Amino acid sequence: VIGHPKYQESQRIAIFLSMPDEIQTEEIIKDIFEQGKECFIPRYKPHSSHMDMLKLSSAEDISSLALTSWNILQPSDDDSAREEALAGGGLDLIFMPGLGFDKKGNRLGRGKGYYDTYLDRCMKHPSGKPYTIALAFREQICESVPMAENDVQVDEILYEDC
């Protein structure tokens, strides 16, 4: 990931805070700050498909975040001091989680449509749609993942042995 050309050329990067069953992102987040890049993480709105990408000030900033009912760390709802990526310069790159992927870029998320809805908002931003990279285990690569009309394909899937 760290050697990937799209990562190297990107300045504003959104990345998920990994759950135990996902590719671990802690080292990538540390590298984003070591490289002087800007790091944004998701804040999900419960009972909706709305998600924002909010700026972290440092890798250590993660320890100040609240734990949601889904056991995900994220900025609290009343945290209005953080920059939302689309309120500023947009994003260059989004690292995306998922449950399953196929080699055409189809992605099976957790069913709420957060990333699809967010990418739709990105397409309306002056900076346009960021490049998307899904981080996956080899076992998550499927022959075919069904897609709905509002699903957005990922640009690339990185997994072991790819």
Residue set of the binding site: 17, 22, 107-115
Phi, psi of 133 (to 5 degrees): -125, 125
Distance CA 110, CA 108 (A): 7
Q: Which tokens in the block code for residue 147?
A: 């897609």
For residue 40, give the amino acid letter: F
Residues flagged as binding site for ATP: 107-115
Classified as helix, coil or strand, 85 is helix
Q: What is the DSSP letter of 88?
A: T
Enumerate the known binding-site residues for substrate: 17, 22
